[in-house]
Copies of this chain bind each other. A is one copy, B any other.
Amino acid sequence: MKTRRSDRLVDMARYLLEHPRQLISLSFFAQRYESAKSSISEDLSIIKRTFDERGTGLLHTVPGAAGGVRFISAMSQAEAQEFVAGLCTMVADETRVLPGGYVYLSDILGRPDILRPAGRLITSQYLDCEIDAVMTAATKGIPLAQAVAEELNVPFVIVRDDAKVTEGPMVSVNYLTGSSKRVEKMALSRRSLKPGARVLIVDDFMKAGGTIQGMQTLVHEFDGTVVGTAVFAEGRSTVRLLDNFTSLLHVETNLANGEPIRVNPGNFEQEIYQ
């Protein structure tokens, strides 16, 4: 049945939000709503205006016969700063500091209302990148990686330190942990990543960066390319095995002056869209 504009706007907004980064042809919408392409175009300009005003993300129109519209989930600089300031307050709680200087973050990384904007902020740093998959390390990187993958609308793959019977054939690599200088092993199921994929690495916490370096090696074993590396929080480390990464938070524990924990915004800012 032919639909009214108001109904089209509601459903089209939902459809776009659920299919980020996917090119959707005007014909698809014209057919879905039994409406003329000219009406669909007008609807899209209304949606674009609202998304712009509310900082929901970008609506790109691709002209031509093979064209259409693509919604790109994104967060503005202002919203990102406000969100990260809130995270800083939440994490800067000395009861989160565990023996060894580790920081308890599992409650925060189990909240959809935090993971969603965190994923949106991270993907905002890769607006113009083609990304085929998100990679993370089990267990604690998974929630953030999934949140990022949702905003990119691509699969996420989980690297493990043990080969489970339910994973099938796996590709494994050895890597050096940065802090303790031990040689460890990590593995990824062969089926889970297509050869040649463009991969965004996501993890919860980075100290020296050994795990992330291991994942980079693994991407190369699959003939893939590392598009970038994003972590929720970076900690203090005397060694740092890699430089090219972005973080939402910078966390220091057990400081020389006796302060139990100090949390600051990470280095994400300079790369975000305005």
Which residues of A approach B to under 8 Å, CB–CB?
5-7, 9-11, 13-14, 17-18, 46-47, 49-51, 53-54, 56, 98-100, 102-107, 110-113, 115-116, 138-140, 142-143, 146-147, 149-150, 153-158, 160, 165-168, 189, 191-192, 205
Contacts and interface: CB of A to CB of B under 8 A. Distances in A.
A235 to B, nearest CB: 11
A166 B98 contact: yes
Contact of A50 (B10, B50, B103, B156): B10
A168 B98 contact: yes
A106 to B, nearest CB: 6
Count of this chain's copies in the oligomeric assembly: 2
Contact of A6 (B6, B111, B112): B6
B155 A111 contact: yes
Q: Which of A110, A166, A167 has the most CB of B within 10 A?
A: A110
A51 B6 CA distance: 12
Given A111-B155, A112-B150, A139-B142, A7 B106 contact: no
Contacts of A140: 166
A10 B13 contact: yes
16 contacts: A5-B6, A6-B50, A9-B13, A10-B47, A98-B168, A99-B165, A102-B165, A104-B168, A106-B192, A110-B157, A115-B146, A138-B139, A142-B146, A143-B156, A146-B146, A166-B205
Contact of A143 (B5, B116, B142): B142
Contacts of A17: 14, 17
A5 B7 CA distance: 12
